Amino acid sequence: MNIFSLAGWTTDMWSPIINLFSFIPNFGWMIIVFTICLKLILSPLDFWQRKVSRQTIIKQQRMQPELQKIQKLYGNNQQLLNQKTMELYKRENFNVMGSCFSMLINMALTLFIFLTLFYGLMGLSQQNILNQYETLKNSYNSEFSKTYNIENNQEAIYLKENELLQNALTQAQTELGADATEEELNQKQQEIFYNEIKPIQEAVLLKYNEIKDSWLWVKSVWRPDTSASSFPDYQSFVSLSNYYNSSNYLELINGKNDEEIKSINTQLENQYNTVTNLVQVEYSSWNGYFILVILAAVISYFSMVVTQMQSTKKKNNDNKNLNEMPQKTGMKVMRFILPLIMVIFTIGYNAAFALYIVINSLMSMILSLVFLKIFEEKEKKQKITIKDKNKPEYSR
């Protein structure tokens, strides 16, 4: 299964869910609301997993002195050491695999959502980039046919464009003279041609301003929040939209030989540049300012810090042991690996997915703090209850 087929079925899965929020006119805000709702729906499972993990750690800390005694007494007899350890676990009702099971379920679901949503938004990006171009092309054809009073079909438009190009070439030869190079003639011809159809291209630019999916500082949510241009050139368009695998293109080249396909590709590139010339010029600057990339890294880092706080209970220095060192080292490494992964996803793919990463990480951090507060309050009440039970009663 290749990346485009993955994008296909995951888009079919996520698109109806995301479209439940289509009452929000801006796609960026739509993704934000969708992410918040998705996180809240999954929060009970997250709460259960964190609760089990915290209870496991508390039990481990409570059993630590006993485990150390068993280690000292039976360290030379591995069989007896394991037996006494299992007896302690049974007495304390401690299940070694309990927290692992809940963690695996949560991790599997989180990874499934992350990857399928990533490919789903990639598929939506392909669809929207294709749809935007088709809308711009239809706008161009409509304006062109009105301007030159011809039928609104591709053949009639091609004929008229070729006529205008030939007139532009004749004018270029007259202006530049016989000493002009072929490159100079082509450049001048294109300049004259584009000046001729500039009002039509301006109408296309207005249409794009109506249909573009921008969000705050991000000019297009289907492009990354980086120095990448907000509107793609032809090669980027072909890559981003998977155009050469689209049904329209495959139908166009069906039964054609290599030379004919090459000619069709050249014609399609010329058409794309003609239709979107002013749009490319207007939106050739940075699509964003790396803000979502930075936020994804920073919030992911602090989200990891808060999550680790939740799975850690304050303890005295004499309870520390060497077995905790590898775990702490692993946690510290993950604090930096996860933000790095988030940077890779946000810097190389569209801003829509970057918004999901940022809001999801922010929600994870907020929920972790809420869960931590709930756990601490519950543990505090349990301590007070235990103290009250142990308090001696005096009869008069």
pLDDT digits (tens, 9 = 90+) for 20-61: 998 999 999 999 999 999 999 999 988 888 888 777 777 777
Same domain, 270 and 138: yes
**Between the CA of residue 329 and those of 50, 325, 326, 334, 336, what are the distances in Å?**
20, 6, 5, 9, 11
Asked if residue 109 and residue 18 are part of one domain, the reply reads yes
* Residue 254 lies in domain: 126-215+246-282
**Confidence class for position 269, pLDDT limits 50, 70, 90:** very high
Same domain (yes/no): 22, 110: yes
Residue 61 lies in a domain: yes
Q: Do 47 and 161 belong together in one domain?
A: no
Q: How far is CA 355 from the centre of its chain?
A: 7
Q: For residues 111 and 130, state if they share a domain.
A: no
**Tokens 């899965």 belong to which residue?**
13
Residues 335-350: tens digit of each pLDDT = 788 889 999 989 988 9
Split at pLDDT 50, 70, 90, the class of 79 is: confident
Distance between CA atoms of residues 91 and 185, nearest Å: 91
Say if residue 327's pLDDT is above 60: no
Query: Do 135 and 76 share a domain, yes or no?
Result: no
Tell which wins on pLDDT, 12 or 224.
Answer: 224
In a domain, 362, yes or no: yes
Q: Does residue 137 share a domain with residue 252?
A: yes
For residues 234 and 90, which has the higher predicted lDDT (pLDDT)? 234
Mean pLDDT within 266-270: 93
Which is nearest to 116 in space by CA: 22, 16, 12, 28? 12
CA dihedral sign, ordered 305, 308, 313, 314: negative
Claim to verify: residue 19 and residue 88 sit in the same structural domain: yes
Number of structural domains (the chain) is 2
Per-residue pLDDT, averaged over 383-388, amounts to 57
pLDDT surpassing 50 at residue 368 = yes
User: Angle 198-211/258-282 helices, nearest 10 degrees?
Assistant: 80
The predicted structure's pLDDT at residue 206: 96
**92 pLDDT tier (thresholds 50, 70, 90):** confident
| Mean pLDDT computed over 156-160 | 93
Is position 197 within any domain? Answer: yes
Q: Which two tokens stand for residue 244?
A: 């050469």
Please check whether residues 362 and 295 belong to one and the same domain.
yes
Rounded to a whole number of angstroms, the distance between the first and last alpha carbons of the chain is 81
pTM: 0.82
The pLDDT of residue 381 is above 90: no
**Residue 225: DSSP 8-state:** S
Residue 74 — pLDDT band, cuts 50, 70, 90? confident
Read off the amino acid at residue 36: I
Residue 239 lies in a domain: no
Sequence-separated (6 or more) residues with CB below 8 Å from residue 93: none
Query: What are the tokens at 221?
Result: 């949510």
Judge contact between 127 and 242, C-beta under 8 A: no
**Position 236 in a domain:** no
pLDDT of residue 325: 47
214 neighbors 220 (Cβ within 8 angstroms): yes
Q: Examine residue 183 and state whether it is found in any structural domain, yes or no.
A: yes
Q: What is the pLDDT of residues 118-154, one digit of tens each?
A: 999 999 999 999 999 999 999 999 999 999 999 999 8
Q: Is residue 137 located within the same domain as residue 114? A: no
Residue 323 has pLDDT above 50, yes or no: no
* Span of 98-112, 245-259, 272-286, 364-378 with lowest mean pLDDT: 98-112
Q: In the listed set 282, 306, 336, which residue is the last one of a domain according to the structure?
A: 282
Q: Are residues 201 and 218 in contact, defined by beta-carbon separation less than 8 angstroms?
A: no
Residue 272, in any domain of the structure: yes
- Residue 113 is assigned to a structural domain of this protein: yes
Q: Are residues 164 and 293 in the same domain?
A: no
pLDDT of residue 1: 43
Tell me which residue of 285, 183, 282, 271 sits closest to 228, measured CA to CA.
285
User: Looking at the structure, do residues 114 and 197 belong to the same domain, yes or no?
Assistant: no
What average pLDDT does the chain have? 85
The DSSP symbol for 19 reads G
pLDDT tens digit sequence for 170-218:
999 998 888 888 889 999 999 999 999 999 999 999 999 999 999 999 9
Which residues, 6+ apart, have CB-to-CB distance to 240 below 8 Å?
125, 126, 129, 222, 232
Cα distances from 395 to residues 386, 389, 390, in angstroms, run: 21, 16, 16
Using the predicted structure, report yes or no on whether residue 388 has a pLDDT greater than 60. no
Flag whether pLDDT at 330 surpasses 80. no
Does residue 324 register a pLDDT over 80? no
